[in-house]
Amino acid sequence: MESARSSLDGATAGLSVRLLGPLTVIRDGATVQLPASRKLRALFAYLALAPHAVGRSRLCELLWDVPNDPRGELRWCLSKLRGILDEPDRRRIETPGDTIELDLKGVSVDAVDIASAAAGGIETLDLQRLQALSGLFVGDFLDGLEIDRNPHFNGWLIAQRRRFRSWHAAILEHLVNKLPADADEMSAHLEKWVELAPFDGRAHVALLARLAQRGQIAACEEHLASAAKLFASEDLDFGPVREAWRTIRSERPAATLRARPALVPAAPQASIVLPDPGVAASCKGRGSGRRPTRRERGRRERGRRKGRRQPPPRQTALSRVRPSSPVWPSSGISSSSPAARSLRCRKKTSRQKMPAGGSTSIM
């Protein structure tokens, strides 16, 4: 960050002023102790950004109430500022007529550098200049310098903060477009851009694309849900952002599957019960592209023979409904079934044809 702060940090000699973040004055590399007066600091910042000399009446109206001798307080503030800014051979505060003006030639002022770059067109800046300007934004404009019961100055302060935030967002937008996609600082710039422009759909889409590129799909969906609620709270159309996210996600299906394995359906489980352990063992290796071994073929053949020798008892619907019916032990056939009656008839006929004594005589 230190290497990106333009001439404010690059020069150890001379005077430099920081208006972004807390007001800071640096002379020859050392921070100058400023008076605690908020109105003195506010006067200094207002004059530093003024494009031309400002009338005393305007300054009194901006910072002081009429009953409190505003011109006297203005003179006191100017005397303190002269002790901070003036040099032995150069006076930085000029008072032509009834106006006041700061001479900041040769002084590095971060806010002035940014305003000059914005006036020339941020889109015309190269990557190095964009990085340098981005590094100047160490905080809000005049951070912590609000003045109670002073609506004129506070209104000006709010307008300046809004203007610098807009410039910061524009600088970040052009910066992320010119940085390499794998730059380490890319994520930080995108998150800051979204923070500064929460209702700019382009910032959200750029952040979603960056997160998806890194495989952080869950973070994408979390950000998408939060942004959708934010847009809905202001009755803004979130459709373009959502549609852009669908496009981003469709272009990276592999990253999506890695990040969300629960979306991939589990492989179906077979529910086939093999009738016999021998048969189950014989089925091992089928469909695997190899021939069964001799031992496997033997187990398979023994399973088949065993199945032929001992067929499982066959249950019919009638046997399940009437379990109390007598069953012939030798055949497993119910005595009341047609098959049983037919069998009894055949046995009776064979006994009638057989001669008495159970044997035949030879004549």
| Count of Cβ atoms closer than 10 Å to residue 291 Cβ | 8
| Coil/strand/helix, residue 348 | helix
Long-range contacts for 271-274 (Cβ within 8 Å, ≥24 apart)?
A: none
- In the chain, alpha helices (H): 6-10, 38-49, 56-63, 70-85, 110-120, 127-136, 151-178, 186-196, 201-213, 217-233, 239-250, 253-259, 277-283, 294-309, 317-321, 338-353
> Rounded to the nearest 5 degrees, what angle is found at the Cα of 30, between the Cα atoms of 29 and 31?
125
**pLDDT value of position 275:** 42
**pLDDT value of position 178:** 95
Multiple choice CATH, 15-197, 3.40.50.720, 3.50.50.60, 3.30.360.10, 1.10.10.10: 1.10.10.10
Both tokens of 181, joined, read 């996609």
Q: Could you read off the pLDDT tens digit of each residue along the chain, which spans 363 residues?
A: 333 344 444 445 689 999 999 999 999 899 999 999 999 999 999 999 999 999 999 999 999 876 678 999 999 999 999 999 998 888 999 999 899 999 999 999 999 999 999 999 999 999 999 999 999 999 999 999 999 888 999 999 999 999 999 999 999 999 999 999 889 999 999 999 999 999 999 999 999 999 999 999 999 999 999 999 999 999 999 999 999 999 999 886 544 434 333 333 333 333 333 344 444 444 444 444 556 677 777 777 777 766 555 555 554 443 444 444 444 444 445 555 555 566 566 655 555 555 555 444 433
Does residue 28 come out as left (phi exceeding 0), alpha (psi in the -120 to 50 range) or beta? left
**pLDDT value of position 230:** 96
Both tokens of 4, joined, read 């990106």
pTM attached to this predicted model: 0.66
Amino acid identity for residue 16 in this structure: S
**pLDDT value of position 359:** 44
Cα 176–chain centre separation: 17
**pLDDT value of position 74:** 94
Burial 146-159 (b: 16+ CB within 10 A, else e): ebeebeebeebbee
**pLDDT value of position 109:** 96
Domain ranges of the chain: 15-197
Provide Rg for the chain, Cα atoms. 47
**pLDDT value of position 182:** 87
Amino acid identity for residue 293 in this structure: T
Q: What is the pLDDT of residues 172-225, one digit of tens each?
A: 999 999 999 889 999 999 999 999 999 999 999 999 999 999 999 999 999 999
Beta bridge partners of 25: 17
Both tokens of 145, joined, read 């310098």
Q: What is the pLDDT of residues 225-246, one digit of tens each?
A: 999 999 999 999 999 999 999 9
- The C-alpha atoms of residue 340 and residue 173 are separated, in whole angstroms, by 94
> Rounded to the nearest 5 degrees, what angle is found at the Cα of 204, between the Cα atoms of 203 and 208?
120
**pLDDT value of position 238:** 96
| Coil/strand/helix, residue 194 | helix
Amino acid identity for residue 330 in this structure: S
**pLDDT value of position 294:** 72
**pLDDT value of position 328:** 45
**pLDDT value of position 321:** 41
- The C-alpha atoms of residue 227 and residue 233 are separated, in whole angstroms, by 10
